[in-house]
Amino acid sequence: MDGVELRARVRGGHIVVALHGELEIGEAADTAATITAIAGRGLGREHCVIVDLEALEFIDCASLRALASAQQRARRAGGEVLLAAPTGAVARLLDLIGLGEVLGVHASVASAVASAGAWRAAGGARRDAAGVAARRPSAALLAERELPVQPLRVNAEEVAGLTPRLR
């Protein structure tokens, strides 16, 4: 399958957007913008969108960055974007670059729905392990949390050898 397909459904009162196929740089911005727009919709309510990655066969680094940015934009607007159920190459990439914990990736959609339920019960505020609601960070703090973009130097022969194994 070339490209990515988005399918939305409701589960546990939350919007779940399932990504199917391959998400690459050419579709990254539009996909992230769609997810951000869904998270920002509502009649005075904050929304939590769960992005189901189970059927996503491939994601490149630029697309992963776009999803992280969508999550940050949704949070600034009072919403939330949770990532869930990565498998195969997507799970390996998240593990390899260490963004799984930073992005709060859930092992399954069910665990993300449970987390989203707690998020909604807290009035959209994140809670720590003791159940204390976290304050919404200021714009300055959010700017500091932006994921840094660093130049990547790789050997083309090494990349050519890795690409088939990651898909």
Range of the domain at 110: 4-166
CB contact at 8 A, 41 and 47:
yes
> Could you give the percent of the chain with pLDDT greater than 90?
40
pLDDT in tens, 105-139: 999 999 999 988 665 565 555 433 334 333 333 34
Six-digit token pair at 76?
Answer: 């600034």
CATH number of the structural domain spanning residue 30: 3.30.750.24
- Mean pLDDT throughout 27-36? 91
CB contact at 8 A, 17 and 119:
no
Cα 88 from Cα 92, distance rounded (Å): 6
Instruction: Give the number of domains in the chain.
Output: 1
DSSP β-bridge partners for residue 45 = none
